[in-house]
Amino acid sequence: MRRSVLFIVSGDPRTSPRPAEAIRIAAGIIAGNRIDVRVLLRDGAVIILQELTDDFVDEDHYARYLPILAESGNTVLVRREPTPRSDVCPTAVPFREVTDREASAIAAESDCVVCF
């Protein structure tokens, strides 16, 4: 059975380099094709899915590494909010919304959980 890692990204990409670094690391692990990778975006990190990333710290990371996540399959998860989202552009990167319960189950099934 393949090992798995869940990246939980909650930092705001406009003020912190941590979300960009999480995306870069996740894409690097995916490229190795030996570990299943999922990325859960929550809180301020959800805006990573917008098409315009010009005001993000390390914005080139998103242009370079988000396509790798998108091509790898269903790896991008977004925490479902009680009200409909207006901060996500569904055409930028395919994603799946998950509840807190589903996110907890995914974290429990993962061999490693890394928070950014």
Q: What is the number of other CB atoms lying within 10 angstroms of the CB of residue 37?
A: 24
Average pLDDT on 4-20 reads 95
Q: What is the pTM of this model?
A: 0.87
Tell which wins on pLDDT, 67 or 105.
105
Range of the domain at 12: 3-115
Percent of the chain with pLDDT over 70: 88
Measured over the CA atoms of residue 35, residue 56, residue 78 and residue 89, the dihedral's sign is: negative
| Most confident listed range (3-12, 47-56, 74-83) | 3-12
User: DSSP alpha helices (H): ranges in the chain?
Assistant: 18-32, 59-71, 100-109
Rounded CA separation 86/75 (Å): 21
Average pLDDT (81-110) is: 79
CATH number at residue 42: 3.40.1260.10
Name the domain count of the chain. Answer: 1
pLDDT of residue 92: 62
